[in-house]
Chain A
Amino acid sequence: MSAPLLVVDDLAAGYGGAPVLEGVSFTLDPGERIGVLGPNGGGKSTLFRTLLGELEPAAGSFTAAGGFGYVPQTERSRLDYPVSALDVALMGTLSHLPWWKRPGRGGRTAALAALARVGLEGRAGTQFGELSGGQRQRVFVARALVQDAPVLLLDEPFTGVDQPSAELLELLLGELAGEGRGILIATHDVDQVRAWDSVLCLNRRQIAFGPPESTLDRHVLEQTYGGSIVAIPGADGAPLGILPAHHHHHEDED
């Protein structure tokens, strides 16, 4: 067993006042995909922002093997900004180079390869705002690939994404895990999480962490989503699906 890529120990974080997220402890191993599940305001983005160094831990600590590749929510990006898909992918080189230096041929090659990997090799010159929501999300994944970090953080990457893009993204996450990267994926989708290796349930504190099949029981989901869930029974009596009953909206989480 190789050394973990990320060890989080009793982490708490907030915005100056009382912590909005407490008691988070988990380990991310190479090749592992962890679904981060929780309601809006449950602390998913807060966890990511703390790992990225934007917020100081209010308590506890974490140890990362290297940097993070980051895929933020696409809703926050500007569609009227004068950049192409390639320009956005190239932003991933900023953290590698001295701040004054421009990406050379190597950076461009890496950015074009990353765009090809997300199936956008033909759209490198297209203005970012003219791409579809799913394509924009894939450009963000390409940018995170250019960052070439051992751990990837994806903040609700499947929100507002068309079916072909979602399938491509799911496939790509599997490949990246196969290369030995560790991946944290924030999501609302309980069923999607079942396909991944582990699940971290957050609702202002850590509710549970472990393999989805043994972790995602009714009790944990009720605590994660505040007691209001709807179970859809399947033919054999086992639940076919469990949905948080609250309204899904994907505005600012914090």
Chain B
Amino acid sequence: MHALVEPWRLGFMQRALLELVLLGVVGGVLGCWVVLYELSYSAESLAHALFPGLVVAALLGVPLVLGGAVGVVVAAVAVVIFGRTPEIGRDTSVAVVITTLFGLGVVLGLSPSSPPGLNELLFGDLLGVSTADLVVAAVLGSVVLATLLLLHRQLLVVGFDRGSARAFGARPLLVDLVLLGLIAAAVIIGVQALGNLLVVAVIVGPAATARLLARRMVPMMALAAGCAVAAGLIGLYLSYYADLAGGASVAGVLVLGYLVALAVRGGALLRLG
């Protein structure tokens, strides 16, 4: 019992847990739409593409939200411009733009003349989460969840059948753009804790797990948020007692959770026949 309680006597562990709870709820719920809209790879690309924006914001000392927003716009414009060049093509242009931007961010963030601490944007610093980070995460997370609540019916209709969505009063283009904006916001929430490389794990992992087990949208969201929070808790114990990197522990537990869900569902299907 003592071993279970001990980590939470420490302030930095409490803040890390709170950050993972916030991120888990936001990432879990948003992730359900990301997975159902087959946007997992886009989310990953988006996270990498806004990386230089985050680095520049950190270098200039302006809020990460601002840097992330500018980064997303730059990436989107670059993809559109290069994608219009017939010799390059859309698929290649996305890959080129994403890798170039991510490389640029790494060069800016990890050069010897950059102030120390920027590599946290890449790998995260779960145990270094500050109270200010928590406030930003809470505000941004509330905005994401409120937007999802308001757009729930539109998201449901467009995801079900994009082709006929307009006939039912939904606006697919608007829904897509808002969803991309929310993914960017979730990346900004999570980048402090998990780092740019692993933040998408909290968006895609729990939702992919929940999709295997849930049959309705709201239970799927609850399950995904629960999985994400549980993985955060277990990951933090692992990090504390086995001295593993916090973000990587959480991501590892998420993958394990998915594999267990896959096995459970596989077993259920086998029994059914």
Contact = CB atoms under 8 A, between A and B. Distances in A.
B167 A52 contact: yes
Nearest to A68: B167
Interface string B141-167: 000000000111110110111011011
A77 B167 contact: no
Most buried by A among B156, B164, B211, B217: B164
Interface in A134-149: 143, 147
Given A81-B36, A83-B216, A91 B156 contact: yes
Interface string A52-69: 111000000000000010
A72 B161 CA distance: 9
Contact of B157 (A76, A84, A94, A127): A94
A94 B160 contact: no
Contacts of B154: 94, 99
Nearest to B147: A100
Contacts of A42: none
Nearest to B210: A82
A2 interface: no
A99 B153 contact: yes
A82 B214 contact: yes
A95 B156 contact: no
Contacts of A82: 36, 211, 214-217, 219-220
Interface in A62-104: 68, 70, 72, 76-78, 81-84, 87-88, 91-92, 94-95, 99-100, 102-103
A52 B166 CA distance: 8
B267 to A, nearest CB: 19
A78 B169 CA distance: 19
B153 A72 contact: no
B106 interface: no
B161 A94 contact: no
A76 B163 CA distance: 8
Contact of A91 (B153, B163, B211, B220): B153
Interface of A: 52-54, 68, 70, 72, 76-78, 81-84, 87-88, 91-92, 94-95, 99-100, 102-103, 127, 143, 147
27 contacts: A52-B166, A52-B167, A53-B166, A54-B167, A68-B167, A72-B164, A76-B161, A77-B160, A77-B161, A78-B160, A78-B161, A82-B211, A82-B219, A83-B156, A83-B217, A88-B160, A92-B168, A94-B154, A94-B157, A94-B170, A95-B168, A95-B169, A99-B151, A99-B153, A99-B169, A100-B151, A102-B152
Given A72-B164, A82-B219, A91-B153, 13 more contacts: A54-B166, A68-B167, A70-B167, A72-B163, A77-B161, A83-B156, A83-B217, A95-B168, A99-B154, A100-B150, A102-B152, A143-B168, A147-B168
Interface of B: 36, 150-154, 156-157, 159-161, 163-164, 166-170, 211, 214-217, 219-220
